Amino acid sequence: MCGRYTQTAKLHDLVDRFGVEEPDFDPAPRYNLAPSQDAPVVGVHPNTPNTRSLRLMRWGLVPCHAKDAAKSIINARAETLAQRPAFRRLLPRRRCLVPADGFYEWQREDRFRTPMRFTLRSGQPFAFAGLWDRWLQPDGAPLYSFTIVTTSPNSLIEPVHNRMPAILLPDDEAKWLDPAATDPAALSPLLKPYPADLMKGYGVSRAVNSPVNDSPECITPDHPPASLLRTP
């Protein structure tokens, strides 16, 4: 599961990193992005596959056929994308990249749960594999929303959680966005655990436990659990 993440890169860094056209908004740095909040998402139009756009979408997928937006889907298991009706329709045509530079999981020790932040060792932005959809609100206005694909954990994440977000290798990002790629069998290999030796994890303040808190304090290193002092 991925229930909280960070996206602190400046707009010009996102434009350069993901090759998108500069949008008409400037996303604020987010240190504690939570479900139901808006976040920048990268996608392409099927008719112009060489043009990438950056737009804000709500985290928590509301399928187009949903009766209301009360129940949304924040994560989608990579292993069942082609089987679950909510995702099977989206997989061929509505894939996206979700820019991030870190995500949180909670390490349970005794009665406490210590938040951990996981990033690339390089500190650079990366992309979660995502799916998106468009739902019409009662007033007729479209609501664009997305879900983050998850996969099995690598050796760094495994002591903390049995799932991790599907971080795409840079060379695989274009393949995930390619409108011509519609075969689930060709897409599935892209959704593998990210190499553990390219990542690091560290303990952070319990301030991140509340989505109300969204400041640099959330990513400031704190004392990590002893079980995560090792490196993969």
DSSP codes of every residue in 180-232 = T---HHHHGGGSPPPPGGGEEEEEB-GGGGSTT--SGGGGSB-PPPGGGSS--
Q: Which of these is catalytic: 96, 105, 173, 218? A: 105
What integer pLDDT is reported at residue 228 of this predicted model? 44
Question: How far is residue 104's CA from residue 160's CA, in Å, rounded to a whole number?
Answer: 10
Judge whether 109 counts as a catalytic residue.
Answer: no
- The encoded tokens of residue 79 equal 């292993």
Residue 136 has pLDDT above 50, yes or no: yes
Choice among 2, 96, 173, 218 that is catalytic? 2
Map residue 89 onto helix, strand or coil.
Answer: coil
Does the pLDDT of residue 109 top 90, yes or no?
Answer: no
Most confident of 7-11, 69-73, 219-223: 7-11
Q: Please count the structural domains in the chain.
A: 1
Indicate the pTM of the whole model. Answer: 0.93
What's the pLDDT score for residue 183? 95
Sequence-distant (6+) residues with CB within 8 A of 212 are none
* Predicted local distance difference test score (pLDDT) of residue 223: 63
3-state secondary structure of 37: coil
pLDDT tens-digit readout, 51-80: 899 999 999 999 998 888 888 999 999 999
The pair of three-digit structure tokens given for residue 209, joined into one six-digit string: 């436990």
Write out the residue range of the structural domain in which residue 173 sits: 5-228
Whole-number pLDDT of residue 232: 39
- The pLDDT of residue 230 is above 70: no
CATH classification at residue 224:
3.90.1680.10
- 2 annotated active-site: yes
